[in-house]
Amino acid sequence: MAKTVQIREIDDEVYAALRRRGAAAGLTVPELLRREATRLASRPTVEEWLERTRRRRSPITRAEVAAAFDELRGPWPDAGR
């Protein structure tokens, strides 16, 4: 069953920006917010994303990553000076 959400005390500037974005997309503010809420709810939280990525194993070693960064950065400045 669909639920109703009410947001109170939205700044005038924020509401005006939402109206502009909605108008640009051919949507009302409630339609825009419904679309954005759906998109937000479908994405994993940062914690969920981190947990999933921690479980993945990569064929690339840390040494290879460090070497790639070194190649991109170029030589390190002489630390002895």
pTM: 0.62
Domain ranges of the chain: 12-73
* pLDDT attached to residue 76: 73
What's the token pair of residue 35? Answer: 């679309």
For 11-68, the pLDDT digits (tens) are 999 999 999 999 999 999 999 999 999 999 999 999 999 998 888 888 899 899 999 9
* pLDDT attached to residue 13: 98
* pLDDT attached to residue 33: 97
First to last CA, the chain: 70
Would you say the C-alpha torsion 19, 21, 26, 28 has a positive or negative sign?
Answer: negative
What's the token pair of residue 62? Answer: 């840390």
Q: Judge whether residue 81 has pLDDT over 60.
A: no
Which residues make Cβ contacts (< 8 Å) with residue 12, sequence separation at least 6?
none
